[in-house]
Amino acid sequence: MNKPIVRFAPSPTGYLHIGGARTALFNWLYAKKNNGTFLLRIEDTDTERSEQKYVDQISDALQWLGLSWDDEIVYQSSNIERHQSVVVSMIENGTAYRCFITKEELDNLREKSEQNKEAFRVPKTYRDYTESQQQELVDQGKPFTVRLKIPDGITEFDDLVYGNIKVNNNDLDDFIIARSDGTPTYNFVVTIDDSDMNITHVIRGDDHLANTPKQILVYKALGLNVPTFAHLPMILGADKKRLSKRHTATNVQEYRDKGYTSEAILNYLSLLGWNPDSEQEIFNLDDLIDGFNLEQVQKKPATFDEKKLLWVSGQHMAKISIDIVILELEKLNPSWGQGQSDKYKSDVLSLTKDRSKTLTDLMEISDTFFVDHIIYDMDIKNKIWNEISSQIIDDLLNAINIEENFDKQTLESIFENLMNQHDLSLGKLMQPVRFALSGLTYGPGIFDTMLLLGKDICVKRLSEGVKELS
RNA sequence: GGCCCGUUCGUCUAGUGGUUAGGACUCAUGGUUUUCAUCCAUGCAACAGGGGUUCGAUUCCCCUACGGGCUGCCA
C-alpha cells in the first residue's frame, strides 16, 4: 500500500476537547502504523468564531499529547483564492451555477415545509439558466450564491468503519459552495484542501458521515480522486449526549491539570471505540501504534467514563519510572520539590508513587515530605485523636531520644514496646503517630516514612504536633 | 418531515446459527497489607421489542421503538 497521508482538521472555535483528541489520535496512529504522514489543518474560514488563541491552545494540546504533526500547519483561510478560482471554473464548465434565491425566501420555504411536515427541497429554479441568463441577473446587481449541480444517480462509498454507504442523489440538495459574499463553504473547501494536500484517508467524526456523499460529488465534479473515508463514532458524555462544551471537563488541558499523563489519556481514548482484539487494556504509545487498525473501530458511540480513565492512569503510574515522574511533576508544578536533592525526591517518590493514581495524587501524598510545618486538619483530628494519643506521642518521643540509633530495627522495637505498654495493635498505635507526623491518615509505611524524614524532623514534627493537637 | 447511521451487563467491549453469552471498569463481600493505595478471590449485572427464515436465533432478514448525525449563505 502507498504511504497514507491523513490530517486532523479542527476549527479554532473552541478548545481541543476529548473527542477531537480521539480523532487526532486515531489519525496519528493510522499514519504511524503505516509509515504515513499526519498533517494538521486549521479550518478557520468562519471568521466570526475563529480565534488565534484556540489555534494556540489546540496545537499546545496536541503537542502535549505527543501527537505531533508533519510539515507546516495549513490554514484553510490562506487558500481562499484557490477555492474561489475553483468556484469560477465550475460555473464556467457548468458543474455549478449561480442561484439568486435569497436567504429570506429560503427560510420561508423551509418553514412552510416544516409546518406541512414535508421534506424540504431547495428549488432548482436557476439550475438550468444559461451562462448569459445568469450574467444578466448578475448585471442587474442581484446577489447570488453558487450551488453545486448535483446529477441524478446514486452516490456510494465504502467507509472503512461503516462499510458501504449509499445515497440517492435526489435526496441531496444542490448545496451552496460559495456564499453571496463570495466565500466558499465547508463541504466544498474541505474537498479542495484534502485533494490539494493529497490526503489519502479522511478519518474524522461520524458527524461528517452524512456530508460525505456531498463531498464525493464535489470530487467527481472536479474530476479529482476520491480519498478513502473512515468515520469514527462520537464520544458521549455521561448524559449520553454528544460531548460538547456544555459537559464538564472536556478540555484536554483540564485532564493534564488533573494530573493525568498524556500516555494514560491516549491509552484510555484509544479504548473508546476501538478494541485491540485481545484482553490487553494498558498500552504505551508503541503498543498502540503496533496494534492499531481501523477495522476494529466500533460503529456505536462510546460514553466517556472518568472512573475507567482513573484506573488506566493508576496502571500507568505503576509502570512509569521515577525519573520520568519527577520530570512530569516538575512540568505540572515547577515548585514541586523545589530545593530538594534529586536523591531525596526520588526516595520520596519510590515510597509514594505506587499508591497514587495520578500525578496530582502523588503531589498531594508526597507534599508532607517537603513542608516545613504540618498544617493539621481539625476535622480529621477530631475523628482520630483521642485522650491517649498525646501520651503515645510523648512516649514515642522519649523512646526515640533515649535510643542512639534511628534505624528500622530500632523503630520496630520501639513500637513493639509501645504496643505492649498501651495494649494496642500496630494499626491503632501508628494512627496518631502518622497524623502527628504527616497530617495524613494514609501514606507509605510508618517506618519508611520516619526513616526518610530522619530523626531530627521526626522529633521536631512530633513535639510540635503534640503541642498543637493536645 | 426526508435521508444516513447505530442498539450485548450501569460503562468500555468480546463473541457465535446450538456457549453456563467471555473480559475490563464501577459497585458489594472476603483475603493480603502497620494505615491508605495496590494486589488476589468471589459476587451482582446484558443480547431494546415484535415478526419472520431455521430443527434451533443474541447471531441472518423485515418492522417498530429508542438514540445520534445530516437536512445552514456553521465547520
**Tens of pLDDT, residues A234-256:** 998 877 777 766 666 689 999 99
User: Does residue A364 lie within 7 Å of nucleic acid chain B, judged by its CB?
Assistant: no
Radius of gyration of chain A (CA): 32
| CA atoms of A359 and A353, how far apart (whole Å) | 9
User: Does residue A343 lie within 7 Å of nucleic acid chain B, judged by its CB?
Assistant: no
Q: A407-434: per-residue pLDDT in tens?
A: 888 898 899 888 888 888 888 889 999 9
A267, A268, A271, A272: CA torsion to nearest 10: -140
Cell digits for A276? Answer: 485491540
Across the range A378-400, mean pLDDT stands at: 87
Through-space separation of residue A208 CA and nucleotide B69 C1' in angstroms: 8
Beta partners for residue A201, in sequence order: A228
Name residue, grid cell 446587481: A141
Nucleotide lying nearest to A12, CA to C1' measure: B75
| CA atoms of A443 and A16, how far apart (whole Å) | 36
Q: What are phi and psi of A4, to 5 degrees?
A: -75, 150
Report the relative pairing of strands A176-178 and A145-148 from DSSP bridges. antiparallel
Chain mean pLDDT for chain A = 92
Nucleotide lying nearest to A309, CA to C1' measure: B25
Contact by Cβ (8 Å): A99, A174? yes
| CA atoms of A187 and A192, how far apart (whole Å) | 9
pLDDT for A250 equals 82
Position A29 pLDDT exceeds 70: yes
Position A81 pLDDT exceeds 90: yes
Through-space separation of residue A446 CA and nucleotide B36 C1' in angstroms: 11
Nucleotide lying nearest to A235, CA to C1' measure: B68
Between the alpha carbon of residue A415 and those of residues A26, A104, A408, A445, the distances in Å are 55, 85, 11, 13
Q: What is the ipTM of this complex?
A: 0.94
pLDDT for A32 equals 97
Q: A105-149: per-residue pLDDT in tens?
A: 999 999 988 888 888 899 999 999 988 899 999 999 999 999 999
User: Does residue A244 lie within 7 Å of nucleic acid chain B, judged by its CB?
Assistant: no
**Starting from the edge strand earliest in sequence, which strands make up the sheet with A145-148, in order?**
A96-99, A145-148, A176-178
Binned at pLDDT 50, 70 and 90, residue A62 comes out as: very high
Nucleotide lying nearest to A170, CA to C1' measure: B3
- Other C-beta atoms lying within 10 Å of the C-beta of residue A72: 8
Nucleotides of B under 7 A from a protein CB: 1-8, 10-15, 23-26, 34-39, 67-75
Through-space separation of residue A196 CA and nucleotide B73 C1' in angstroms: 24
For nucleotide B73, the protein residue with its alpha carbon nearest to C1' is: A179
Q: What are phi and psi of A385, to 5 degrees?
A: -90, 130
| CA atoms of A355 and A444, how far apart (whole Å) | 8
Nucleotide lying nearest to A312, CA to C1' measure: B25
User: Does residue A270 lie within 7 Å of nucleic acid chain B, judged by its CB?
Assistant: no
User: Does residue A173 lie within 7 Å of nucleic acid chain B, judged by its CB?
Assistant: yes
| CA atoms of A126 and A102, how far apart (whole Å) | 12
Q: What is the percent of chain A with per-residue pLDDT over 70, rounded to a whole number?
A: 99
